[in-house]
Structure 1
Amino acid sequence: MAEREWFDTDYYKVLGVSAQASDEEITKAYRKLAKQHHPDATKGSEERFKEISAAYDVVGDAAKRQEYDEVRRLGPAAAGVGANGTRFTGDFSDLGDLFGGLFGQRRARAQRGADLETSLHLSFRDSVKGVTTSVQLPSSQSCHLCQGRGATAGGYVTCETCQGKGVTQDNQGPFAMSSVCPACQGRGIKIITACPACHGSGREPSSRTVNVRIPAGVVDGQRIRLKGKGQPGQQGGPNGDLYVDVHVSADSRFARKGRHVVTTATVSITDAMLGTTVQVATLDEPVTLRIPAGTQPGTTMRVRGYGVPSVGKHPAGDILVSIAVTVPTELSRHQRHLVEQLAESLKEVES
């Protein structure tokens, strides 16, 4: 992008937003205009579409937008460009550092932080209800032994190429073109004896604690993306994302069926025949469930609202109770006689 075009074009006006607009507002405006003026949708709109795309390419990028705003703030004269396009011949040395960063110093480009991955083991209850927990993530810090120099005490000398600044500068007219010193790679020193702890890197491994919110209703094997929880960005760039692979422990009493929780209630054969009430465990407090007379083994009964909590457009799930009927394995002589009488009576009813 030529400097002159940045001075002459108000990209915010092109997109119909203010210079104080948020990133979300800029993106929303661009998508609306791009859809409206796309050549496939509107004939003869190619130039307008290119103008919109060029504007978004600059102010839709965090690093470019920062540079663009600074250039616009200083105005054409700051870069040595006159109103008629001629260049001034005055002393612009005080602006060298600024425009070295804007047009020549590529190392200052905003860089997005790296994405990270981790695993998290949850109890069944936490997977259903959601939980806020913490995870340990790998990181790095300045070496404790050399304080980040990468060299032992006295094991380094000042870089002669950049005089310890870490960058070299090439003045080209009104602009100061800066770049990382090729001799020391930006350190400002030349290492003679590398630090034995960090082997000359100046960094050592560490960890950091990140609090993460796990939403209600996650399932085993699900991957969750937590925006901005990854490695920090460089030079003002955005943070990377954190991807959490969820592992849910099995529960002896409960299972999942979509947004519903499944459990079992056991009743005796006589209670199944005559009807009864039982206490059913849930992930919250126990609930009372009425078992109608004549309930068959395997019957599923529903208690509303005791499954996965309501999240966004998703309604709350229920708890589904499967009825198990126990049959006695041993009977006394008297009990057997009573059961035989009942069996004969039932045969008469059926006939």
Structure 2
Amino acid sequence: MADHYEVLGVARDASPEEIKKAYRRLARQLHPDVNPGEDASEQFKLVTHAYDVLSDPDQRQRYDMGGDASAFGGAGAGFGGFSDIFESFFGGGGGGTRAGRPRSRRERGQDALVRVDLDLGDVVFGVHRDIEVDTAVLCETCQGSCCQPGTQPVTCDICHGSGQIQRTVRSLLGNVVTSQPCTTCQGYGTTIPYPCSTCQGQGRVRARRTVSIDIPAGVETGLRLQLPGSGEVGPAGGPNGDLYLEVTVAPHDVFSRDGDDLLATLEVSMIDAILGTSVTIDSLDGSVDLDIRSGVQSGDELTIRGRGITPLRGDQRGDLRVGVQVVTPSHLDPKARALVQELAKRMRPAPPHLAEFHPGLFSKLRGKFKR
């Protein structure tokens, strides 16, 4: 790596103004708009990078210290005795310091959480959905390199690619070498002179994308489904995180869920309850015939096998359980009333009386089914 002072053609004790003038002079000569040659382009990059370092007082000081071996415990520094113990803890070494491993720009992306609203009918058999997700995707311009096309990262001049800056601290027990992340390259060991203009050097951009998913049968509100690798892409094109789908099932006007069973209420007229009848009702997956026996009572349960919900794990569907509610007419014309009175005389029903309490079925049933 060429010395920055030599690249700009200035002395090591050059003033900030001298450095600035040297950079302007060279930039006018080497700028691609003026000098399109390939060699000039490479020289322009070196000149620009050298100016970026030397024009910043902190970076220039670190660069100057990096070039002075005695400032980092070279031949003039004495290591030994108890200092060796401290060096083993702080990462130093008397016979030559051990550089830390630089950070990787590629990191795993974050997980994403999306809410999915379903109907009860979707839960019976499962459903396919295309979900729109607003998340981070790979930058198509740089393909995750973070650099403008045709360029690449360069080794950091301050830490020389280690990602760490080592400092010597004198104590009563000797010299102790400590390491900390290089603030110039943020610990990566490289810098990016020409960041990608599309993603600003991140290697990823925000975008809306479509994720196709098959939601299994039997899911319920609050359940989270995991789709590995479908979350956000990581910085610098790192691996994707996971996508989590949080399910919300909307209430149904007619049916309610009890485990893998479906519940419904069937209103039956007094006449049909006395004589019995057959009715066709609409379940969530088609019509089904239902026989109502003569003498059915309010609170009786009629079961239709295999018309419930397919379980999340397994293939044996639950049942459709229909609770009967006998509807007593509230208004009768004189002729109808006379017929009921005649029926009462023939049946001689027992007068109203208290009986043993039987808990009703309808605390579990919500909604009404209308035939």
TM-score by length of 1: 0.54
Q: Deviations over 1:72-116 (max 9, x none)?
A: xxxxxxxxxxxxxxxxxxxxxxxxxxxxxxx98654598544221
Q: Tell me which protein shows more helix as a share of its residues.
A: 1
Residue 167 of structure 2 corresponds to which residue in structure 1? Answer: none
Q: Tell me how far 1:159 sits from its aligned partner.
A: 6.0
- Separation of aligned partners in 2, 1:158 and 1:240: 25
1:301 aligns with 2:294: no
- Separation of aligned partners in 1, 2:137 and 2:302: 57
Q: In structure 2, the residue corresponding to 1:336 is in which secondary structure?
A: helix
Q: In structure 2, the residue corresponding to 1:168 is in which secondary structure?
A: coil
Q: Look at both structures and tell me which one has the larger radius of gyration over its CA atoms.
A: 2
Task: Write out aligned runs for 1:161-176 (5 A).
Answer: 161=156, 168=161
- Separation of aligned partners in 2, 1:280 and 1:250: 20
1:118 aligns with 2:98: no
Q: Deviations over 1:19-54 (max 9, x none)?
A: xxxxxxxxxxxxxxxxxxxxxxxxxxxxxxxxxxxx
Q: Tell me how far 1:142 sits from its aligned partner.
A: 6.7
User: Which residue identity does 1:118 align to in structure 2?
Assistant: V
- Separation of aligned partners in 1, 2:236 and 2:204: 18
**Percent identity between the two aligned chains:** 35
8 Å CA contact retained: 1:119, 1:244: yes
- Separation of aligned partners in 2, 1:251 and 1:142: 41
1:132 aligns with 2:128: yes
Q: Note the aligned Cα RMSD (angstroms).
A: 4.3
Residue 277 of structure 1 corresponds to which residue in structure 2? Answer: 278
Q: Deviations over 1:224-247 (max 9, x none)?
A: 223333234679976432221111
Q: Tell me how far 1:331 sits from its aligned partner.
A: 1.2
Residue 268 of structure 2 corresponds to which residue in structure 1? Answer: 267
Task: Write out aligned runs for 1:1-351 (5 A).
Answer: 107=103, 111-141=107-137, 161=156, 168=161, 183-184=184-185, 188-190=191-193, 203-232=204-233, 239-313=240-314, 315-347=316-348
8 Å CA contact retained: 1:159, 1:184: no
8 Å CA contact retained: 2:261, 2:308: yes
8 Å CA contact retained: 2:143, 2:237: no
Q: Tell me how far 1:131 sits from its aligned partner.
A: 0.9
Distance 1:284 1:183, change over 3 A: same
Q: Deviations over 1:291-332 (max 9, x none)?
A: 010001121111010111255446310101111222222211
User: Which residue identity does 1:285 align to in structure 2?
Assistant: G
Distance 1:245 1:136, change over 3 A: same
Q: Deviations over 1:145-194 (max 9, x none)?
A: 99999899xxx9996846xxxx8379xxxxxxxxx9964566754469x9
Distance 1:203 1:233, change over 3 A: closer
Unaligned 5+ residue runs, structure 2? 1-98, 164-180, 352-371
8 Å CA contact retained: 1:113, 1:231: yes
Q: Tell me how far 1:204 sits from its aligned partner.
A: 3.6
Count of matched residue pairs: 233
